[in-house]
Amino acid sequence: MTDKKIEEIKERLGLITPTPWIYDERVGCLAVYAGEKQNCLAGISNSCIYYASGYKDDGKWHLYERDINDGKFIANAPEDISYLLEKIEQLKETLEFYADPDSYIISTGTIYGNDTQVDHGLLITQDSGKRARKELNKNEGINDD
């Protein structure tokens, strides 16, 4: 199973300016740079991915909250997207296991307790949802073996 949109996202991710993208907040401006941190007070440079200037009020510089949030989101986007794509792949593999008709084969082999013992791989009757729970609990630090 392939998803054209996910493949397009992976392709675009592979073409971006190499990471890390660095968030730099200073008095009066903020910027996101690819590679080396620079001084956003000097203005936009070739490695600048995002730039926002602040405003002066009562003699003090301030940044708009939305610009701070946008900058942090942009700076973390490559790693966040990579993480989400990895999780999608793990969940897809688990779903494929449960979608595979061979996972539901019932054997006339030896029966141990409530599980069917067979020689040709892990079946749903043996798994009892363990693989799905393991994937769902992976980020929670829960060991469900």
Q: 18 and 78 share a domain?
A: yes
Q: Is residue 39 part of a domain?
A: yes
Coil, strand or helix: which one is 125? helix
Q: 134 and 80 share a domain?
A: no
pLDDT, tens digit, 9 for 90 and up, residues 24-72: 887 778 888 887 766 666 656 667 888 888 888 888 888 999 999 999 9
DSSP designation for 131: H
- The answer to which of 46-50, 88-92, 119-123 has the lowest mean pLDDT is 119-123
The C-alpha atoms of residue 20 and residue 23 are separated, in whole angstroms, by 10
Q: 104 and 84 share a domain?
A: no
Q: Is residue 133 part of a domain?
A: yes
Q: 45 and 68 share a domain?
A: yes
Q: What is the mean pLDDT of residues 106-118?
A: 51
Q: 80 and 20 share a domain?
A: yes
More confident residue, 136 or 4: 4
Helix axis angle for 65-99 and 4-15, nearest 10°, is 130
The total number of structural domains in the chain stands at 2
Confidence of residue 5 (pLDDT cuts 50, 70, 90): very high
Q: Which domain holds residue 37?
A: 1-89
pLDDT of 51: 86
Q: 63 and 129 share a domain?
A: no
Average pLDDT of the chain to the nearest whole number: 76
To 10 degrees, the CA torsion angle through 96, 98, 99, 104?
130
Q: What is the mean pLDDT of residues 11-29?
A: 86
pLDDT of 2: 62
The C-alpha atoms of residue 25 and residue 137 are separated, in whole angstroms, by 36
Q: 104 and 85 share a domain?
A: no
Q: Is residue 24 part of a domain?
A: yes
pLDDT of 59: 87
* Cross-strand bridge partners of residue 115: 112
* Cross-strand bridge partners of residue 26: 29
**pTM of the prediction?**
0.66
pLDDT of 71: 93
Q: 11 and 62 share a domain?
A: yes
Handedness of CA 41, 20, 72, 47 (dihedral sign): positive
CA-angle at 105, arms to 101 and 106, nearest 5°: 155
Residue 136 identity: L
Give the domain-ending residue among 89, 117, 132: 89
The C-alpha atoms of residue 41 and residue 30 are separated, in whole angstroms, by 8
Asked if 104 and 28 touch (Cβ cutoff 8 Å), the reply is no
